[in-house]
Amino acid sequence: MDRLDLAFKVAVEARENAYAPYSGFKVGAALSVKGIDKIYPGCNVENASYGGTMCAERTAIFSAVAENGKVPFEFCIVVTDTEYATPPCALCLQVFSEFCPSDFPIYLGTLKGIQKKVLLKELLPIPFNKIP
């Protein structure tokens, strides 16, 4: 199994752990870090106070940073149970932009498989950046 297939499996499994009683929209993510075997899973975790909700993508990013500090990410996969794959929200794209180059690959998938590869710069061409 290659790394992309493994990450897809991690994202699908993480999606099963999503806590989404309010939206009913479960999302799984998997983040591959360069030079590290582990693939970081993420799922959305909702809260009765909606602002406390966290997306699957940022769950994976923050987990990888918590364990390794700032390290180069290789790619991310986002999986939803929808007909068409769902891209990360703007907040997650902004967080990706803090840690990833503009050509960072994001794979969008459904439970049937990966549908599309996009680059961070295609989804967020001009990120907010206070560091010149």
Q: Site map for Zn ion, 44-73, x if CB under 5 A?
A: -----------x------------------
Return the residues of window 82-121 that contact Zn ion according to CB under 5 A: 89, 92
Q: How far is the CB of 130 from Zn ion (least distance, A)?
A: 20
Alpha carbons 83 and 101: distance in angstroms, whole number: 29
Which residue bears the tokens 């309010």?
22
Please count the helices (runs of H) and the strands (runs of E) in the chain. Answer: 4, 5
At residue 78, what is the residue type?
V
* Closest distance of CB 128 from Zn ion, Å: 15
Q: Identify the active-site residue in 13, 16, 46, 57.
A: 57
Beta strands 73-80 and 105-110 are: parallel
Binding site for Zn ion (CB under 5 A): 55, 89, 92
